[in-house]
Amino acid sequence: MRSMGRHSDLVRISLQLANGEHFPLFLYGDPRARSLSLVPAARDQDEVDVQFFSHPLDGSPPSPLGGLRFPDLPSPDVELQLDAAIDESEVLSVVLRHRESDRVETFDVPIPDEATLPVDHRGLLLSWVWRVLGVIFVLAGLALIFWLTLVVTRWGQQASPRSPISSLYTETRRV
């Protein structure tokens, strides 16, 4: 969900898909309203549960904001309309509607300020551990390549044995 590009390419709010991946709903710098059409992940699904997440600018893991449930889906081939907006006071408002039946579910939640988001110390520690292990792995690989280079180049430094033909030739000339 994080992009290495401009600041405006960073995900601000996402919704979690059935496979666990995050789908960007709002990016930093985006307009403050969005409309999506949603369909259930499985045909025989009788309920939709949409979970929303806030993504901090520092790249730490997303924080759950809460969810919106739409139980007792009217039909197996249902299509739901999701309308989301962020108001001036940083409140995410979501309306999930089924047009044919006029059913509506709503959800309002304040978006946490960057300073109030919980810090995931375990995640930060794990990221540093993986970085250190990566550096150790690269250094070990370079040391192995250096050692193999030394071993291979020593083969060329050995003196070649005298061939029997040249020694026979020099012995016959002396006679």
**What residue segments make up the domains of the chain, in order of their start?**
7-116, 121-174
Q: What's the confidence (pLDDT) of residue 6? A: 38
pLDDT-derived band at 5 (thresholds 50, 70, 90) equals very low
d(CA 53, CA 19): 15
Q: What is the DSSP letter of 112?
A: P
Q: What sign does the CA torsion over 34, 85, 50, 98 have?
A: negative
Range in 3-12, 65-74, 124-133 the model is least confident about:
3-12
User: Phi-psi bin for 79: left (phi > 0), alpha (psi -120 to 50), beta?
Assistant: beta
d(CA 40, CA 37): 10
d(CA 93, CA 52): 11
Q: pLDDT by residue (tens digit) across 26-63?
A: 888 778 899 999 888 887 788 888 999 998 887 778 88
Q: pLDDT by residue (tens digit) across 154-170?
A: 765 666 666 666 655 65
Helix (H/G/I), strand (E/B), else coil: 103: strand
Range in 3-17, 84-98, 118-132 the model is least confident about:
3-17
Q: φ, ψ for residue 96 (rounded to 5)?
A: -115, 120
CATH number 2.60.34.10 is the correct assignment for the domain at 7-116: yes
**Secondary structure element (H or E) that encloses residue 95, with its range:** strand 91-98
What is the model's pTM? 0.59
